[in-house]
Structure 1
Amino acid sequence: MSEPARSTPERLVLFTDAVAAIALTLLVLPLVETVTEDSSEHRLGELVHEHLPQVGAFVLSFAVIFRFWWSHHRVFQHVATLRPSLVAWSGLWTFGIVLMPIPTAIITAYSPSPASVAMYGGTLVLTSGSLTMLALLVYRHPEMSDDRPRATREEVLGTTTVFAAQLLATVVGATFAHTVNYWAFLLMFLTGPVERLVTSRWRRTTT
């Protein structure tokens, strides 16, 4: 009797790649419509200045989705066999990516408020949290890697620090919505020093 075929991750990875690509495309469509509708009424400089918040929201969300996608890609480099729990957490991650264009559209249409910042940040926390659980699951179950390289605790640390930064940014941004607001989410791009500090301490304790 032959052994049952393994559930390999290739189709799941292709699906999540496609979802991320579509989400990035949806981010830019409002800008395309804005340029098309207003090009005859404004000069280029005036057009950019008038829609600067929309441009800023696009750049921020593009950078966030790209980083989430790349981290998801790195996690699945270690996966040779799927588990239901892995598929479930990846599905939740995908849900967060699909949602991103909606809060992005909201923060460009309305002035910063605790509700709008919390909605945007909540989507980031959902996505980064599910990504952290993915990384932790793969790290704790090396049998899923089979003949692929094993996940490291440094990779788990990377996703965890981003999750913590997004959670902190959401709280700070929503609390100080009229001053700090969405600038708080730039914290996710400053997690490198924290990761290096923790990693250096790990190395000292093992030597």
Structure 2
Amino acid sequence: MSWRVSRATRPTDSSERLVFFTDAVVAIALTLLVLPLVDLVPEARSSGLDLEDLLRENLGELGSFLLSFAVISRFWWAHHQLFRHVSRLSGPLVAWNLLWMFSIVFLPWPTAIITAYEPSTGTVLLYVGTLVVTSASLTMLAVTVHRDAALSVGRDRETRDEVLGSATSLGALLVALVLGSLFPGPVNYKALLLLFLSGPVEHLVKRSWSRHPGPVDGPDRPPETAADVR
């Protein structure tokens, strides 16, 4: 069985089927995140804990759930925005999307790890490393869509600015991975706050581009056909 997708014309709904499948995987991942919290309730009840004690003793579990829920939601939204430009599929596009789905559905396990264990180099590498894989595969999806005009026939092209948004988030996560794993005591998962710097960095790069404009890009660019990219 081959994952190769022909560059020949495909029905425009082929990309929609991939999006539906991906959305289902994200829903499964979010469900897996909350299941450990659900299991805590009968255990607490049988132990005689009241609601206040239940919440106080499981703040770590609640915090890990909220963190991973926010992360998955952000990645899902970025994926959704990217696939607004996609009308057809290619082998590389499907391959990168499969890697993205794998990292998303895998994330509940590192989430359970960081809940059960104190921060260490290993736990930070596992959790933040999973996010790096998610971000890297999303960035490669953006690059693939941007470079191959045949994937966006009938839709707006993915712009260079949109690719930059994915790339800056990846850069922030790579720095967070290094700092968090090198200094697991004082820094650990707090290094993920570097993601808030991706916006300013993106803005600075765009200002640099505006001073040194390259080829015309975005919606004003004349549409290319499949023949143009061959």
TM-score by length of 2: 0.84
Give the aligned CA root-mean-square deviation in angstroms.
1.6
Q: Which residue of 2 aligns with 1:182?
A: 189
**How many residues were matched structurally?**
204
1:187 shift after superposition: 2.0
Structure 2 letter corresponding to 1:80: S
Out of 75, 84, 89, the residue aligned to residue 91 of structure 2 is 84
Out of 3, 6, 9, the residue aligned to residue 15 of structure 2 is 9
- Cα distance 1:98–1:140, how it changes in 2: closer, same or farther (>3 A)? same
Structure showing greater radius of gyration is 2
Matches of residues 159-198 of structure 1 in structure 2 within 5 Å? 159-198=166-205
Q: Which moved more, 1:69-78 or 1:188-197?
A: 188-197
Q: Which moved more, 1:194-203 or 1:107-116?
A: 194-203
Matches of residues 10-89 of structure 1 in structure 2 within 5 Å? 10-39=16-45, 41-89=48-96
Counterparts of 1:203 and 1:5 in 2: how far apart (Å)? Answer: 36
Q: Which moved more, 1:186-195 or 1:167-176?
A: 186-195
Matches of residues 132-143 of structure 1 in structure 2 within 5 Å? 132-143=139-150
- Percent identical among aligned pairs is 56
Counterparts of 1:42 and 1:164 in 2: how far apart (Å)? Answer: 44
Structure 1 residues 84-138: Cα deviation after superposition (integer angstroms, max 9, x where no partner): 1100000000110110000000110111110011011111111100000000111
Structure 2 letter corresponding to 1:13: V
Q: Which residue of 1 aligns with 2:123?
A: 116
1:5 shift after superposition: 5.4
Q: Which residue of 1 aligns with 2:157?
A: 150
Structure 1 letter corresponding to 2:32: L
Structure 1 residues 155-177: Cα deviation after superposition (integer angstroms, max 9, x where no partner): 10111111111111111111111
